[in-house]
Chain A
Amino acid sequence: MVIKMNPYIEYGKKAFAKNLVYRSDYIIGVFNTVIMVFIQVAIWRAIYGSNTQINGVPFSYVATSFVLSICFAAALTANDFVLADKVLYGSITTELLKPISINLCIMADTIGNNLFKLIMQFAPAVIISGLFLGLLPPASVLMLLLCVFSLIFGFLIVYYISYIIQACSFWFTNVWSLSVIKNSVISILSGTLIPLWFLPDWLAAAIKWTPFDVIYFAPIQIYLGQMNTQEIIFTFAKQIVWVLLFAVLGMFIYKKGIKKLCIAGG
């Protein structure tokens, strides 16, 4: 009963259903993702040439890594403009007048969208590109499960980075430039552009101190069975610390922003 009455589930369902309206959008989305995977894999096939391994990494790992990370990156996204639009068009005041948490609404909206993308975009994109490019199976069922869990935390990192940018919209009416910078940083440092195996040592070492390697790349390494128990535990710990850090920072900026809005008038 409590669950049935929950308005946030309703928000999530509405977001999910809204995607169904734009059918051509999702077909193009799948197509776009598949092309990205094909191009990346083709480039790396050329780089490998007749070598079976580079830096001790077999080509099949590279192909699997691209198939999974690009498809995940396409499916597990956060829209940077949800809150910004509310502030810009003033709908935030009408939402403040309802007995709901705006943060949970944004979260529900995002989850609704991502569930849609996982089913309707991720699944077909992985199947198509996996069939043509060769997708390695998970190292074991346990590793597959651990990969799924760590992807959830990876998504939460992406979500709260986006949330921080969104919360800045109380000061900057346009967060578009912040969003572009963030997206480029994530795509370069998270391994969706260049697998982190091939980065120069100093850069790979530096990335270890950032949250970016545990968004998509670490879950894929778990999937491939390249991490031992200790490394897996460390990955989860690192993910949780970053999620908490970003969440707390985001909430802090959001609270300040709401206060500013209510003092200056929306």
Chain B
Amino acid sequence: MSIIVENLSKTFKIKEKQKGIGGALKSLVAPKTKLIKAVEDISFTIDDGQAVGFIGPNGAGKSTTVKMLSGILYPSAGRINVNGLVPYKNRIEHVKNIGVVFGQKSQLWWDLPITDTFDLLKKIYKIPSDVYSRNLELFNEILGLHEFETQQVRQLSLGQRMRADIAAAFLHEPSIVFLDEPTIGLDVVAKEKIRLFIKEINRVKKTTLLFTTHDMTDIEKTCQRIIVIDKGKILYDGTIDSFKTKLNKDDFNEAVYEMFTGGI
């Protein structure tokens, strides 16, 4: 079992700002805080090599869960085990075995060309030279990184940057990769390239994937299983086909829409 999540919860303390100057002064003297439950008592397990779509509307708690699984956010309650490690306790050991892609945020060095970033990653993860060049070759083939590999990251288009970011996350052959909206804002061609890549890596390297997106085609083309979450709770966990059957829809998109607009 790659990922085990038991009764996981995360509560944020948010400062409430009151209106106007009087309110601002009041908040300064006696700040009022509000508790927000981002994730509430969720449990699931993911087997080695499984590709799982993690879907839900904005603010459902997807990113919060991904952050807790990757170890950069401490849970309020519950238990997480990834590859036999507790993410937030053994940070350095844990992150050696995972890859993370945040569509909203690049992990590439802004003022370096991507080849330099890859070289640095090779050293950081201590990737053997033969593995490194073999992977780069494979990634180039699918993602077409050659066209822009000598440009500084800041000069890349969103699609190019995203392709480079995804390659960077898979370079050290992690056994688990978290993809948090990697196709956000991309055109159809770029999306298709990324889907193809993810599917291929999952097939060849047996990488466990947790894929968050708002594009249901991404999920249909890459994942065997979906976990649906809303308001911090899991609504569904199973295959895409039985999801469609459950909601009585032929189209996956419509089924998802039905669920979020209060089908059940």
Q: Give the complex CA separation of A14 and B124 in angstroms.
A: 14
Interface string of A253-266 (1 = CB under 8 A from B): 00000010011111
B73 interface residue per 8 A CB criterion:
yes
> Given contacts A18-B111, A90-B105, A262-B88, is CB(A97)–CB(B70) below 8 Å?
yes
Q: Give the complex CA separation of A262 and B64 in angstroms.
A: 11
B92 touches A99 (CB 8 A): yes
B95 interface residue per 8 A CB criterion:
yes
Chain A residues positioned under 8 Å from B71 (CB to CB)? 96-97
A93 interface residue per 8 A CB criterion:
yes
Instruction: Give the Cβ gap from A44 to chain B, nearest Cβ, in Å.
Output: 42
Point out the residue from B88, B102, B120 that lies within 8 Å of A14, measured CB to CB: B120
Chain A residues positioned under 8 Å from B112 (CB to CB)? 14
Chain B residues positioned under 8 Å from A262 (CB to CB)? 72-74, 88
Instruction: Give the Cβ gap from A25 to chain B, nearest Cβ, in Å.
Output: 15
Within 8 A of A (CB), among B29-59: none
Q: Give the complex CA separation of A18 and B112 in angstroms.
A: 10
Within 8 A of A (CB), among B4-25: 12-13
B72 touches A96 (CB 8 A): yes
Q: Give the complex CA separation of A88 and B200 in angstroms.
A: 37
A181 interface residue per 8 A CB criterion:
no
Chain A residues positioned under 8 Å from B126 (CB to CB)? 5
Q: Give the complex CA separation of A209 and B62 in angstroms.
A: 54
Within 8 A of B (CB), among A159-176: none
B67 touches A5 (CB 8 A): no
Q: Give the complex CA separation of A263 and B95 in angstroms.
A: 18
A97 touches B72 (CB 8 A): yes
Q: Give the complex CA separation of A264 and B14 in angstroms.
A: 9
Point out the residue from B67, B91, B92, B109 that lies within 8 Å of A265, measured CB to CB: B67
Q: Give the complex CA separation of A5 and B105 in angstroms.
A: 27
**Closest residue on chain A to residue B91 by CB atoms:** A96
B124 touches A100 (CB 8 A): yes
Q: Give the complex CA separation of A94 and B101 in angstroms.
A: 9
Within 8 A of B (CB), among A61-96: 90, 93-94, 96
A264 touches B120 (CB 8 A): no
Chain B residues positioned under 8 Å from A264 (CB to CB)? 12-13
A99 touches B72 (CB 8 A): no
Chain A residues positioned under 8 Å from B70 (CB to CB)? 97
Within 8 A of B (CB), among A1-15: 5-7, 10-11, 14
A263 touches B74 (CB 8 A): yes
A98 interface residue per 8 A CB criterion:
yes
Q: Which 7 A-B pairs have the closest CB atoms?
A: A94-B107, A7-B123, A7-B124, A99-B96, A262-B74, A99-B92, A96-B72
- Using A97-B71, A265-B64 as known contacts, list a sample of 20 further A-B pairs with CB atoms less than 8 Å apart, ordered by residue number in A: A6-B123, A10-B119, A14-B109, A14-B116, A93-B67, A93-B72, A94-B102, A96-B95, A97-B70, A97-B95, A97-B107, A98-B95, A99-B92, A99-B95, A101-B92, A262-B72, A263-B73, A264-B12, A266-B72, A266-B73
Chain A residues within CB distance 8 Å of chain B: 5-7, 10-11, 14, 18, 90, 93-94, 96-101, 259, 262-266
Cβ contacts A to B, 8 pairs, < 8 Å: A5-B123, A7-B123, A90-B105, A93-B67, A94-B107, A96-B71, A100-B92, A262-B72
